[in-house]
């Protein structure tokens, strides 16, 4: 894992955190380990930390950019394809601990697995070195792509929120209403609601992709696409 740390430009004091960050649920399932040993909890933490650090990065990098444009830029930078691109640049896929079944199905190249691992690594850096180390990492990771990342990836959640805010200050609320399949190969169903009304449901191999699909379905229902 020293090569991965070199690629990231960060050396862990607690190496077990990095190992935890690259342990996929399929590996945990095949090895019959405790579910908490997968990187899913670190992914949850990393997602929140990344949102904060990207917001800070964009706020200072683009002092004249409007709030709406900053929101769109952030959405483009923290989306699944963008995170997967960064993970590939860092060579993360070579180090992920995958179950044999998932590995044989090309799991090391899947956007969902790579993006989740990248968020987990960010969560691990936060626990190991604190917020300033994450800020520095985010700047290194995103500096090369910040200017070109904008509307390349359609962010249905942001588009839906912009439409809803024209009529209401209430935000759209997303929830995962169903999880199917084995632990290492989940299919998630998400629902988006606004003012206690269901606008759409969507599915995906990750919670994020399911939420995006739900937003897309809502936009189609509203005939806004």
Catalytic residues: 47, 119
Determine the Cα–Cα distance for residues 25 and 64; give it in Å rounded to an integer. 42
Residue whose entry in the numeric block shows the structure tokens 């800020």: 135
The separation between the first and the last C-alpha atoms of the chain, rounded to the nearest angstrom, is 44
The per-residue DSSP string of 8-36 comes to HT---SSHHHHHHHTB-HHHHHHTT--GG
Contacts of 19 (CB under 8 A, 6+ apart): 1, 97
Cβ–Cβ under 8 Å, residues 91 and 7: yes
What is d(CA 41, CA 48) in angstroms, rounded to the nearest whole number?
11
Phi, psi values for residue 185, rounded to 5°: -145, 60
What tokens does 14 get?
């607690």
DSSP letters along 162-187, please? Answer: HHHHTT-SPPPEEEEEEEES-TTS-E
């Amino acid at each position: 894992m020293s090569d991965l740390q070199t690629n990231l430009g960060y050396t862990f004091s607690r190496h077990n955190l990095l190992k935890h960050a690259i342990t996929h649920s399929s590996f945990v399932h095949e090895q019959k380990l405790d579910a908490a040993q997968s990187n899913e909890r670190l992914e949850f933490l990393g997602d929140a930390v990344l949102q904060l650090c990207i917001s800070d990065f964009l706020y200072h990098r683009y002092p004249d950019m409007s709030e709406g444009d900053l929101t769109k830029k952030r959405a483009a930078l923290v989306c699944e394809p963008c995170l997967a691109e960064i993970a590939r640049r860092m060579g993360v896929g070579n180090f992920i601990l995958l179950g044999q079944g998932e590995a044989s199905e090309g799991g090391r190249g899947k956007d969902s697995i790579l993006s989740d691992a990248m968020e987990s690594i960010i969560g691990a850096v936060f626990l190991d070195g604190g917020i300033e180390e994450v800020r520095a990492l985010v700047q290194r990771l995103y500096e090369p792509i910040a200017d070109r990342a904008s509307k390349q990836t359609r962010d249905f959640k942001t588009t839906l929120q912009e439409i809803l805010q024209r009529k209401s200050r209430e935000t759209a609320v997303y929830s995962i209403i169903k999880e199917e399949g084995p632990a290492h190969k989940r299919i998630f169903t998400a629902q988006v609601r606004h003012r206690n009304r269901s606008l759409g449901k969507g599915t995906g191999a990750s919670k994020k992709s399911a939420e995006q699909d739900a937003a897309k379905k809502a936009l189609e229902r509203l005939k806004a696409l």
